[in-house]
Amino acid sequence: MTDPMPTAREMEFLLHDWLRVADLASREAYAHADRETIGQTLDLARALAADRFWPHFAKADAEEPRVGNGRVRLVPEAADAIAAFRDAGFFGMSFAAEDGGLALPWVVTQAVCTLFSAANQATFAYPFLTIAAANLLKVFGTDAQKRLYMQPMIEGRFFGTMCLSEPHAGSSLADIRTRAVPAGDGTYRLKGTKMWISGGEHELAPNIVHLVLARIEGAPAGVKGISLFAVPRYRLDADGNPGEANGVTLAGLNHKMGYRGTVNTLLNFGEDADCIGTLVGEEHRGLFAMFHMMNEARLGVGLSAAAQACAGYRISLDYARERTQGRPVDAKDPAAPPVPIIAHADVRRMLLAQKAYAEGGLALGLWLARLIDEQKTAEDRAERARLTGLLDLLTPVMKAWTSHYGLEANFWAIQILGGAGYTRDFPVEQLYRDNRLNPIHEGTNGIQAIDLLGRKLGLRDGADWRELGKLVRATAKRAEGGGLADLGAALAAAMDTADRVAVTLAKRGAAQGAGAMLANAWDFLRLAGHTVIAWVWLEQALVARASMDESAGGATYLQGKIAAARWFFAHELPFVEAWAAMLAAGDAPHLDIPDDGF
């Protein structure tokens, strides 16, 4: 079967032709990340994804994690795949050489992640979480935490988790109850129960370091009284090796619809034995620190959703080229041989819709990753603030838009395969089940919509939104001379509409309160998301158009890019006006009825 990762040509186009990531080598931190190094890294990642992750994609689902003798058992292929990932140095791919990392630009590491996500997100989740935890410790950890926990994570020896939710507190972190009591020696004793912990217990590594939100006794109520702690599964001995157990016990596994290869746990801290943790960052500022990991995870969720959408696209494209069925609507001679279903208009529509959603989300995700590189290495303070603002603004869009439409892409992948797509003989049904998690975790899409409209839009007096508008309009303007003037005009009009709606909603909020402003927040997120995705498609189309003029080779691939852009503009962008009209009207019948009217 076809391997499901975005093709090498696709990565080449996004990373080099469009994002020119090799230019980052001019910055000291990435000095050695030339095009050849990047190419070798992606080649190696692609080979590992194809040979070690993809082959057990279905098996890790069919044989989901189980508890045996108090231990969580995964399919053995998962450990093999992760060992190969570790041997390639990929746990440390984004870390500086001084930390033992490969010092690759973030955008390159995210392209690498995309390949593994497409091949087997459930197995890839273990390294993904570990890298995110190490990144958090890099920023907020003490020297000791870096040495004892971060370093082994970068080497792939210890794994990491994020422990936020509790059984009674999922989305509402303000209500967590896990307590941390100072032990007098600088450490804390933790006590409480954490829910939905991915990778919370397994035998893939000799230790797991949990990053746990808890309240220090006497802390203020709400999110301003939450602190963050590093809590190893096994305490470390004098040499930093895992020793005795640290009072973290497995209370149960969650059995999910998909994403099954990633064990999801209910954990008790300090129930039967002392559970020792150390403070990460400042007291009561735990959510601030955790959001460093969370924002990374939100962008990662979006990128993973796009990767899984790409996977469904590639598999259904392959099927559409091979499977014969029926005849063109204009040529119904029953004696004629049947045609490959890619000949049918509606199949082509389902393919191009998938391409538009999947590669649109992928492009936005990689563009944002490049922004992170620019932000990290920016020397000018104002420039850094500008980039931070764009990232703040677009993180909820990337998370929610891409997880919503990435799943829609997988819907169409199944539809192309028909009855076959509905069986477990083909991977598209699993992709659809796996990808269904992405609109939920790391902040539901409803919460992302509130974050965008209720918080991000107004930050810095709307400067980030205006900055986005500037970028979008600059692209629209370039399109005038790039042979895509019609798309440029449509994009500029959509951005004008989005601006107008943003002003209307801000005024509504000022006059009637947050409740009135946020009544239809999800529509605003979709409106903003469609505008942004149209923008990245126009960017891609402009590059494709220019490349066609430059070279004769590979023109069909570039035609496909322009067609996907045109499809998105013709078949999706018009919804922006519909959402704008709805938001301007402000109808909210869901708020107008009593609870028992439902």
Site for a second copy in 506-525 (CB under 8 A): 513-515, 518-523
Q: Could you tell me the sign of the dihedral formed by the alpha carbons of 122, 123, 126, 132, in that order? A: negative
Q: Does 595 bind a second copy (CB under 8 A)?
A: yes
Q: Smaller CB distance to a second copy: residue 95 or 567?
A: 567
Question: If you write DSSP's letter for every residue of 12-62 in order, what string do you get?
Answer: HIIIIIIT-GGGGGGSGGGTT--HHHHHHHHHHHHHHIIIIIGGGHHHHHH
By CB under 8 A, tell whether 575 contacts a second copy: yes
218 binds a second copy (CB under 8 A): no
- Report in angstroms how near the CB of residue 130 gets to a second copy at its nearest: 21
| Radius of gyration over every alpha carbon of the chain, rounded to an integer in angstroms | 24
User: Does the CA dihedral 581-359-308-205 come out positive or negative?
Assistant: negative
Question: Among residues 231, 350, 368, 397, which is the contact residue for a second copy, using CB under 8 A?
Answer: 350
Site for a second copy in 373-432 (CB under 8 A): 407, 411, 414-415, 418-419, 421-425, 429, 432
**Collapsed DSSP state (helix, strand, coil) of residue 568:** helix
> Would you count residue 445 as binding a second copy (CB under 8 A)?
yes
Span of 84-92, 123-131, 138-146, 329-337 interacting with a second copy by CB under 8 A = 329-337
- Subset of 234-273 contacting a second copy (CB under 8 A): 254-258
Q: From the CB of 510, what's the least distance to a second copy, in Å?
A: 13
Site for a second copy in 518-557 (CB under 8 A): 518-523, 556-557
1 binds a second copy, rule: CB under 8 A: no
Cβ nearer to a second copy, comparing 295 with 410: 410
Among 312, 439, 488, 529, binds a second copy (CB under 8 A): 439
Which one among 76, 206, 328, 481 touches a second copy, defined by CB under 8 A?
Answer: 328
234-236 and 242-245: which strand pairing?
antiparallel
Q: Which stretch binds a second copy (CB under 8 A): 2-10, 205-213, 231-239, 342-350?
A: 342-350
Q: Are 542 and 484 in contact (CB under 8 A)?
A: yes
In the set 10, 359, 442, 572, the catalytic residue is: 442
The residue (of 112 and 358) whose beta carbon lies closer to a second copy is: 358
Question: Do the Cβ atoms of 160 and 211 come closer than 8 Å?
Answer: yes
Residue 298 is a binding residue for a second copy (CB under 8 A): no
504 belongs to the binding site for a second copy (CB under 8 A): no
Q: Cβ 242 to a second copy, closest distance in Å?
A: 30
- How far is 246 from 233, CA to CA, in rounded Å? 5
**Minimum Å distance from CB 518 to a second copy?**
6
- Smallest distance from a second copy to CB 243, Å: 33
Minimum distance from residue 127 beta carbon to a second copy (Å): 22
Query: Binding segment for a second copy among 8-16, 277-285, 369-377, 449-457 (CB under 8 A)?
Result: 449-457
DSSP conformational letter for 166: B
Q: Select the span of 138-146, 210-218, 318-326, 361-369 touching a second copy (CB under 8 A).
A: 318-326
Decide if 63 contacts 69 (C-beta within 8 A).
no
Under the binding rule (CB under 8 A), the answer on residue 322 touching a second copy is no
Which one, 217 or 237, has the nearer CB to a second copy? 217
Judge whether 442 counts as a catalytic residue: yes
Q: Which of 475, 289, 541, 307 is nearest to 402 (CA)?
A: 307
Task: Choose, by CB under 8 A, the member of 317, 362, 363, 390 that binds a second copy.
Answer: 317
CA distance 521 to 306: 23
CA nearest neighbour of 406 among 360, 347, 351? 360
Determine if 222 is a binding residue for a second copy (CB under 8 A). yes
494 touches a second copy (CB under 8 A): no
Candidate list 48, 195, 279, 293; residue touching a second copy; CB under 8 A = 195
Here the tokens at position 531 are: 């505008």
> Binding string to a second copy for residues 140 to 179, with x set by CB under 8 A, is what?
-------------------------x--xxxxx-xx----
Contact call for residues 530 and 572 (beta carbons, < 8 A): yes
Please, what is the minimum distance in Å from the beta carbon of residue 402 to a second copy? Answer: 16
Residue with tokens 């034995």: 273
Q: Report the phi/psi class of residue 344: left, alpha or beta, with left for phi > 0 and alpha for psi in -120 to 50.
A: beta
- Token pair, residue 552, equals 């004769």
- Site residues (CB under 8 A) for a second copy, limited to 97-136: none
Tokens coding 89: 């140095």
For a second copy, give the closer residue by CB, 240 or 458: 458
Binding of residue 574 to a second copy (CB under 8 A): yes
Contact indicator for 212, 269 with CB cutoff of 8 Å: yes
Question: Of 214, 266, 352, 534, which lies in the binding site for a second copy, with binding defined by CB under 8 A?
Answer: 352
**CA angle, 477 as apex, 474 and 479 as ends, to 5°?**
115
Give the nearest distance from C-beta 410 to a second copy in angstroms: 10
Among 223, 245, 463, 493, binds a second copy (CB under 8 A): 223
Residue 67 has φ and ψ, to the nearest 5°, of -100, 130
- What's the CA gap between 357 and 407, in Å, rounded? 9
Q: How far is the CB of 185 from a second copy (least distance, A)?
A: 31
- Angle between the N-to-C axes of helices 345-377 and 381-417, in degrees from 0 to 180, rounded to the nearest 10: 160
Amino acid at 416: I
- The pair of structure tokens assigned to 76 is 């053995």
List the structure tokens of 496: 């004008």
Does position 596 interact with a second copy (CB under 8 A)? The reply is yes
Give the position of tokens 């994009």: 491
Q: Please report, for residues 198, 297, 570, the alpha-carbon distance to residue 162 in angstroms, rounded to integers and kept in the order given.
A: 8, 10, 41
The interface with a second copy within residues 71-100 (CB under 8 A) comprises none
Residues annotated as part of the active site: 442
